[in-house]
Amino acid sequence: MSYRLVFTEQYTRRALRFIRKHPELKKQYLKTLTLLELNPNHPSLRLHPLHGKLQPLQSISINLSYRITLELLIKDNKIILINVGDHNNVY
């Protein structure tokens, strides 16, 4: 089963800024999104729930330093992307 990624306007702006700042990560970022769409539970994504003020959200890893926060709506097979950036910016 595949999922549908939902790119909000705010996320798209953040993602463009992220790629401009880190052009060397573009291929890895796109690979992460493709894998997320195919299987959000793939071990390399390291999907995990967030706590505290970000409690309703989850996070996946682009690599050890960079993350994407998201809202995972399993019921509708939708994944709403919220933010992308390094650990300090995202959390």
Does any domain span residue 49? yes
Q: What's the chain's Rg over C-alpha atoms? A: 12
Where residue 50 sits, what CATH number does that domain have? Answer: 3.30.2310.20
Residues of the chain with pLDDT > 90, as a percent, come to 76
Q: What is the pLDDT of residue 66?
A: 93
Tokens describing residue 26 = 């573009």
pLDDT tens sequence across 47-61: 999 999 888 899 999
Does any domain span residue 90? no
Strand runs labelled E in the chain: 4-7, 48-49, 58-61, 66-73, 78-86
Does any domain span residue 25? yes
14: nearest Cα among 88, 82, 71, 60: 82
Does any domain span residue 89? no
pTM for this predicted structure: 0.89
Does any domain span residue 91? no
**Domain encompassing residue 71:** 4-84
